[in-house]
Structure 1
Amino acid sequence: MTMINRIDLEAALSKPNLLLIDDSKEDINLLTMWLYRDHQISVAADVENALSMLNEADIPKPDLILLNATSADIEIDQLSQQLNKDHTTKHAPVILIVHDNDKEEENFREDSNAVDYITKPFHPKQVLARVRTHVTLHKQNRQLLKRLKQHTKDLHNSKIQVIQHLHRAGKHKDNESHAHVIRMSLISKLLAEYTEQDQAWVERIFHATPMHDVGKIGVPDSILHKTENLTPDEVRIMQEHTLFGAQILESDNDPLLLMASVIALTHHEKWDGSGYPNGLQTDQIPLEGRIVALADALDTLMSPSHEEATWTEQHIVNYLMEQKGQHFDPNLTDIAIEQLPQIIEILELYPDHEDNNQQYSFFKSTR
């Protein structure tokens, strides 16, 4: 390929893509004659043909659509549905081609959500100006949307980093292993996926779970690391770590921090109301708190360092059935029993003796 041909090809590829839907050869010839220099033009005789073209991978997705407004309403609806299915065409502007002073078509324009219209007989300057305006606006909107998505992603990652650093600070006070936090997060995510929550909620609980005990920062070392039985007053102080954690993570409008705060506050509540700090019961306990409570207990019970390390899978099932409706949400308990093989697999993948830095690299890799 010569340099001139390559430049011509690059210029052609950089042109905006127009999809012209019109059954009038005269209209097509006029519009193509005015627009071809600055645009890549695809032509469809009707909406049905256009729908087929939109489904073809080798045909460029339109940056703007010129549509003869005489098409049947049902065909227009089908076109709109197809455009909205694909994120690359969802915001593509539609300019309707209408007859001048056609009141019926004006009413249709309002119903169609088209961004603009051009009238017949055509005026070249009007056609060029309106197409150029909406192609430019569409390009700007795409750039703004791209920046917004990147900004949202960066902000989300920053919040996750804050949560990880807070947890790291808490590690100076608590002896929880990094692997325990990873396992808890994965078990929480697994349970959440079976509660019919949306995927964004599931991802939030995965990232919020590591902060469940951040409030232990506020508990004196003499109590936190005491090897003998705690006195009643010391038990009360220890239980306040749920309140400290909720206060540290409190947020009015950030979903991730709000969930982390709720988890910190409620993960020691019990289904029968015998938990702390507020003695909540049944579905008074937020779902995320119920999930993390079960995930924490499961990992602790099944950890090799636990005093019941010799428990078999059946021992675990028996314990869960015993605590079903007492400590744990009955529905979540059933899910945990059904998914016990996967939970055991999580424990085997992330044993306690792994490198202490694994938690941070693990959560970084899942963003």
Structure 2
Amino acid sequence: MQIAIVDDNAVNLALLRGLVRQLGEVQSVEFLDPREGLAWVCAHPVDLLILDYQMPELDGLGFLRAFRAAPERGEVPVLMVTADHELPLRYQALQEGASDFLTKPVDRVEFQARARNLLALRRSQIEMASRAQWLATEVAKATATILAREQETIVRLARAAEYRDPETGAHVLRMAHYARLIAAQLAVPEAEQDLLLHAAPMHDIGKVGTPDQILLKPGRLTPEELVIMRQHAQIGHDILAGSASPYLQAAALIALHHHERWDGGGYPNGLRGEDISLMGRIVAVADVFDALTSVRPYKPAWSLERAADFLREHAGSHFDPRCVEAFLQAWPGVLEIHARYRDEPLETQPQELL
């Protein structure tokens, strides 16, 4: 362990050095100049500071005060050397953070007992800090495992929706990354961007509750069928709501809001403007853009430019204008996502964009 000794008297410094060497398994560094000593102990690890009070220019109290104010020096034991008649000084030193005292002239037995006690205290502090760091690491690992399981649950729920409403897996990947791109452009905090990325793929999970004859119908839906189809937004919310997981909470809100319209003409609740959650408004843009630019049984894929024009035309009516602007401003990122996540052929595709 490292011990620093600061005393402006060379004889006292030599005495203390000799006593320290008798402790065994320690190293010491000594300073006659208190300012030099202060600079060193504030810049280097030290396990025990032995400090004289009566020093020129910078006395022991001033040294102690500056030492305690330095980063990560608040718990290092300090053994202050004082005269036996300086009780008021000792009281003040305790208030400033002194751990123990030595009385001049220094007694060898007393010195070794006090120094060993303070070194034992320091070892305990180091062990506790190491234990706390280990616990923090283990908690971080456990938290990461829980988050990974939550994300796996999300992926599997999204897959379940795909089996009922067999859009390609690439669709949910593209629209989720488009959504994160919009959020980043809007300066949404990065943690919320990640939340959106993982929650967005479950936006249509409610379609597991839509009858096959409606969900897989190759032609246009009747008004009555359309009413049933549109129930998937509320069903998706009801499936996901009530979870303690922030991912599932976000997914529930997205499922409920991604078919609402900026002008109030959407469903299931006819919300308008900023009454629609930001995540829902973002996903609406991302989902519609990807649906337009994807092949469906009832239509070929639109060009990216045509789909972008559609977003511009319906900004302020269907879509939040800020979300559309953010999406278009990030156009190079849109092109990169579109190229990276390509569709694979499927025998069936969902029947229409609602």
> Any unmatched runs of 5+ in structure 2?
52-60, 81-86, 103-110, 348-354
Q: CA deviation at 1:287?
A: 1.3
1:182 matches 2:163: no
Query: C-alpha separation between the residues in 2 aligned to 1:34 and 1:323?
Result: 84
Residue matched to 2:258: 267
Alignment of 1:309 onto 2:301: yes
Question: Are 1:97 and 2:78 counterparts?
Answer: yes
Match among 224, 229, 234 for residue 215 of structure 2: 224
Per-residue deviation at 1:22? 6.4
How many residues get paired?
Answer: 310
**Closer, same or farther: CA 354–310 of 1 in aligned 2, 3 Å:** closer
Root-mean-square deviation (CA, aligned residues, Å) is 3.4
Task: Give secondary structure in 2 for the equivalent of 1:120.
Answer: strand
Distance, in Å, in 2 between the alignment partners of 1:250 and 1:20 is: 59
Residue in structure 1 matched with residue 145 of structure 2 by the alignment: 154
- 1:3-14 correspondence to structure 2 within 5 Å: none
Q: Aligned AA for 1:94? A: E
CA distance in 2 between partners of 1:288 and 1:119 (Å): 59
Determine if contact 1:98/1:105 at 8 Å carries over to the other structure: no
**Does the Cα contact within 8 Å between 1:46 and 1:71 map onto a contact in 2?**
no
After the TM superposition, which residues 27-176 of structure 1 pair with which residues of structure 2 at under 5 Å, given as runs? 29=17, 33=21, 37=25, 48-49=39-40, 66=48, 70-71=62-63, 77=69, 79-80=70-71, 94-97=75-78, 99=80, 102-109=90-97, 118-121=99-102, 123-176=114-167
Q: Which residue identity lines up with residue 119 of structure 1 in the other structure?
A: D
1:246 aligns to 2:237 (yes or no): yes
Larger Rg computed on CA atoms? 2
Return the alpha-carbon distance in structure 1 between the equivalents of residues 152 and 28 of structure 2: 47
Change (3 A) 1:204 1:30: farther
CA distance in 2, matches of 1:140, 1:351: 48
Aligned counterpart in structure 2 of residue 330 of structure 1, from 315, 318, 321: 321
TM-score, normalised via structure 1 length: 0.73
In structure 1, what is the Cα distance between the partners aligned to 2:43 and 2:122?
A: 24
1:299 counterpart = 2:290: yes
CA distance in 2: counterparts of 1:276 and 1:31, whole angstroms: 83
Residues 202 and 255 in structure 2, CA contact (< 8 A), matched pair in contact too: yes
CA distance in 2, matches of 1:281, 1:36: 76
Contact conserved, 2:241 with 2:252, CA < 8 A, in 1? yes
Contact 2:168-2:346 at 8 Å conserved across structures: no
CA distance in 1: counterparts of 2:317 and 2:67, whole angstroms: 57
Q: Which residue of 1 aligns with 2:273?
A: 282
Q: 1:312 to 1:351 in 2, by over 3 A?
A: closer
Whether contact under 8 Å (1:291, 1:332) holds in the other structure is yes
Report the Cα distance in structure 2 between the residues aligned to 1:307 and 1:249, rounded to whole angstroms.
31
Question: Structure 1 pair 52/198, CA: closer, same or farther in 2 (3 Å)?
Answer: farther
The question of 1:205 aligning with 2:204 is answered: no
**Mean Cα displacement is larger for which, 241-250 or 174-183?**
241-250
Evaluate the alpha carbon distance shift between residue 30 and residue 200 of structure 1 in structure 2; reply closer, same or farther with a 3 A threshold: farther
Q: TM-score, normalised by structure 2?
A: 0.75
Q: Distance in 2 between matches of 1:143 and 1:276?
A: 50
Larger mean CA deviation between 250-259 and 173-182 belongs to: 250-259
Change in 2 beyond 3 A, CA 1:243/1:303 = same
The answer (yes or no) to whether the contact 2:23–2:116 under 8 Å persists in 1 is no
Partners of 1:42 and 1:347 in 2: CA distance: 64
SS at match of 2:165: coil
CA contact (8 A) 1:242 1:266 kept: yes
Contact 1:271 1:325 in 2 (8 A): yes
Deviations 1:158-203 (A, max 9, x none): 1111111111222220121011111112111111112222222111
